[in-house]
Amino acid sequence: MTEQVRRLAAALAGGPGESPAAEARILLAHVLGTEPARLITAAAPDAAQRARLDELVARRLTGVPIQHLTGEAYFRRIRLAIGPGAFIPRPETEVLTGWAVERLTTMIARGTQTPVVVELGTGSGAIAAALADEVPGARIHAVELSDDALAWAARNLAGTGVDLRHGDLADAFGDLDGEVDLVIANPPYIPLEHWAGVPAEVREHDPDLALFSGPDGLVAMRAVADTARRLLRPGAMVGAEHADVQGESAPAVFVGAGFDDVVDHPDLAGRPRFVTARRPGGGGPRSGRMER
């Protein structure tokens, strides 16, 4: 099996991926119907499977995302169905989700029964599904505007108990105003003028609605801040992902919206990645405060 991985990795070396060996293991496991970690005990591919692998490699070399080739993506502890029309979840977003898991777990431990969570712009449903998996005591709501992404989210959230709705994050969940314990979002944040600089694999396969957000990349972030302020209980918190170059501008959105305890957080590579903020009231820190 090691030789098969080497053969595939060599073929993938000229493609868009950063780790041909890892992609080789993913494709081989997919075709063999197993997990990458179990390849060592798997049978060698037969002629039909080798032909299928060659076909997948050829498509990968044209820039088709590995997740679209396998029809799945991994996010924290879960496996998601994924394909055209939905934003492919990134590892960076797992850090934001981990913040939410820790906060909700602490709330439950301190006596909050069934904390209410809203995800704004759920895409494939990755964050909502992960929260449902890791914090089963929470009541989770999610909204998505895109018809295509909503279909993937419905598939991934089936059986999780998540309340999935179709709509715009800017005016979603009017029935929950002032009742939400945590809002989380990974909104689009690329400025429109940066379109040409986005990698072709992303530009051609992730939906524009999930990528671009006005001339400064912060149009959706402002909507998240406004909606979060409407939805959250006094003292409750919002967390939102942003581009690594928005470590000052994204927090400034929440300061400008009158949030307290505005803090920016790094991803695993140490780059600015998401902002958290608290709705005024409920004994939280001072209004407009921004921490580093």
Residue 62's pLDDT is what?
A: 93
189 annotated among ligand-binding-site residues: yes
Region of poorest pLDDT, from 52-61, 68-77, 177-186, 208-217: 208-217
Which contacts of 280-286 are long-range, i.e. CB under 8 A and separated by 24 or more positions?
Answer: 280/234, 280/235, 281/234, 281/235, 282/233, 282/234, 282/235, 282/236, 283/235, 284/234, 284/235, 284/260, 285/260, 285/261, 286/260
User: Is residue 47 over pLDDT 80?
Assistant: yes
Name the residue ranges covered by the structural domains of the chain.
2-62, 86-291
**What's the predicted TM-score (pTM) here?**
0.90
105-123 burial code (b ≥16 CB/10 A, e <16): eebbeeeeeebbbbbbbbb
The annotation status of 251 as a binding-site residue, yes or no, is: no
Confidence of residue 27 (pLDDT cuts 50, 70, 90): very high
29: amino acid identity, one letter: A
DSSP string, 144-186: E--HHHHHHHHHHHTTS--EEEES-TTS--GGGTT-EEEEEE-
- The CATH number that domain 86-291 falls under is 3.40.50.150
3-state class percentages of the chain: helix first, strand second, coil last, to nearest 5: 45, 20, 35
pLDDT-based confidence at residue 83 (cuts at 50, 70, 90): very high
Residue 272 among known ligand-binding residues: no
CA dist., res. 262 & res. 99, Å (int): 14
Q: What architecture is domain 2-62?
A: Orthogonal Bundle (1.10)
Annotated binding-site residue? 187:
yes
- Per residue in 120-141, pLDDT (tens digit) is 999 999 999 999 999 999 999 9
Q: Which of 13-22, 81-90, 275-284 holds the top average pLDDT? A: 81-90
Taking alpha carbons only, the member of 155, 182, 186 closest to residue 169 is: 186
Whether pLDDT at 292 is above 80: no
Cβ neighbours around 202 below 10 Å, total: 16
Structure letter (DSSP) for residue 39: G
What pLDDT was estimated at residue 21?
94
Residue type, 66: I
Residue 270 is labelled as binding a ligand: no
- The pLDDT value given to residue 189: 78
Q: What is the mean pLDDT of residues 247-262?
A: 97
204 belongs to an annotated ligand binding site: no
The answer to whether the annotation marks 156 as part of a ligand binding site is no
For all residues of the chain together, what is the average pLDDT?
A: 92
Phi/psi for 115 (5° steps) reads -60, 145
d(CA 171, CA 168): 6
Q: Could you give phi then psi for residue 235, rounded to 5 degrees?
A: 90, -5
Alpha-carbon gap, residue 94 to 100, rounded angstroms:
10
Has residue 79 got a pLDDT over 70?
Answer: yes
Q: Is 122 annotated as a binding residue?
A: yes
Listed range (7-16, 156-165, 168-177) with the worst mean pLDDT: 7-16
State yes or no: pLDDT of 15 exceeds 80. yes
Question: Angle CA(289)–CA(271)–CA(186) in degrees, nearest 5?
Answer: 70
Please give the pLDDT value at position 125: 98
Q: Is 188 annotated as a binding residue?
A: yes
Q: What is the pLDDT of residue 289?
A: 42
pLDDT at residue 287 in the model: 38
